[in-house]
Copies of this chain bind each other. A is one copy, B any other.
Amino acid sequence: MTSHRTSDSADPSRPLLSDLDEDELLRQILPGLPSGPAVLLGPGDDTALVEVRRGAVLATTDAMVRGRDWLDEWSTADDVGRKLVAQNAADIAAMGGRTTALLVTLAADPATPVAWVREMTAGLAAASREAGIAVVGGDLSSAPEGTLMISITALGDVDSDPVLRSGARPGDVLAVHGTLGWSAAGLLLLQRDSADRGPDQVSYHRRPRPSYEQGPLAASAGATAMLDISDGLVRDAGRIAAASEVQLAVDSALLRDDIELLAPIVGAEDARACVLTGGEEHSLLACFPSLQLPQGWRAIGAVRAGAGVTVDGRPATGGGWDHFKD
């Protein structure tokens, strides 16, 4: 056999970040980043300049840390880049907004392969491009041995008043758009070393892709409160309940299809837990003043006077995880 040399390197673990200077690294990364019509000034000066259409900008930030938010055994660098876009763009969508631009900070052990950074950037760029989002700036920093973290700030436009968590009123319908429990079920399968039992769920865990466009559509349809499901349906519903000073009553009969879809994959009990408390789904949860829901949304409960979240009338808690607690 002839030994081939690829254009990069035969050994994907080389070069390392410490083999390049910052300018060389930037030359590899910057050309692949998407721009867009909102970018009045992109990377290369002291700051970027991003067009804002209606006098105010939505802004959010969310980070991923290796070993906490992903494991290299289960997620490729491309997956990580795409998931970062999803997390941040879902937050903008949940306000009824449209993400226009991202800024990206990488803090990495100098022994990190350049290929990992290039692949993560490619995933981030691809997911951004697909969603019409520009990457306008960032920062590179070295970090202690073993540390790899990426922090993203997303900026967004909103056409009217943003949809807060605090506007739900008794009588509203509680509705969801997108999957429930898929990310948690996918993680369970990875933990059980049986990814082949639910490839769609495993894929969704690695690369969640909520429908960002549903955020502005829900806002136009009169959504009174909205967020994306980051820490699980029950815990996130609790945030709307607390901010709106109402009770959110989930009807598990309306979740039957979600649970039955996952039951053969992870088991009936875990399927229910995934649907009710599984995090990182980033599907949109919203309240609407009538049963006339926008297309693709489905009712899963009702807003009542009171406090907290109930499932079939019983108080419910749970979901989420804590970054610092042992």
B-contacting residues of A (Cβ < 8 Å)?
17-18, 20-22, 25, 40-41, 44-53, 55-65, 67-69, 91-92, 94-95, 97, 101, 103-105, 107-108, 110, 136-144, 146-147, 149, 151, 153-156, 158, 162, 164-166, 226-228, 243, 322-326
Contact across chains for B41 and A164 when beta carbons are under 8 A apart: yes
Q: Which residues of B contact A51 (CB under 8 A)?
A: 55-56
Looking at A53, A67, A141, the one whose CB has the most chain B CB atoms below 10 A away is A141
What is the bound-complex CA distance between A97 and B53, given in angstroms? 19
Q: Which residues of B contact A141 (CB under 8 A)?
A: 63-65, 68-69, 149, 323
* Given A49-B58, A146-B144, also A139-B40 (CB < 8 A): no
Contact across chains for B322 and A59 when beta carbons are under 8 A apart: no
What is the bound-complex CA distance between A59 and B51, given in angstroms? 11
Say how far A92's CB is from chain B's closest CB, in angstroms: 6
Q: Please tell me which one of the listed residues B60, B69, B142, B325 contacts residue A323 in the complex, with CB atoms under 8 A apart.
A: B142
Q: Please tell me which one of the listed residues B40, B47, B147 contacts residue A60 in the complex, with CB atoms under 8 A apart.
A: B47
Q: Which residues of B contact A69 (CB under 8 A)?
A: 141
Say how far A232's CB is from chain B's closest CB, in angstroms: 15
* Given A21-B324, A47-B58, A97-B47, also A144-B147 (CB < 8 A): yes
Q: Please tell me which one of the listed residues B18, B58, B151 contacts residue A326 in the complex, with CB atoms under 8 A apart.
A: B18
Q: Please tell me which one of the listed residues B57, B64, B139, B154 contacts residue A52 in the complex, with CB atoms under 8 A apart.
A: B57
Contact across chains for A58 and B48 when beta carbons are under 8 A apart: yes
Contact across chains for A49 and B45 when beta carbons are under 8 A apart: no
* Given A21-B325, A151-B151, also A52-B49 (CB < 8 A): no
Q: Which residues of B contact A155 (CB under 8 A)?
A: 57, 59, 155
28 contacts between A and B (CB under 8 A): A18-B324, A20-B324, A21-B324, A46-B91, A47-B92, A47-B162, A48-B59, A49-B56, A49-B57, A49-B158, A50-B57, A51-B56, A52-B55, A57-B57, A59-B153, A59-B155, A60-B103, A61-B153, A63-B141, A64-B141, A65-B143, A65-B144, A68-B143, A107-B107, A107-B151, A108-B324, A143-B147, A144-B147
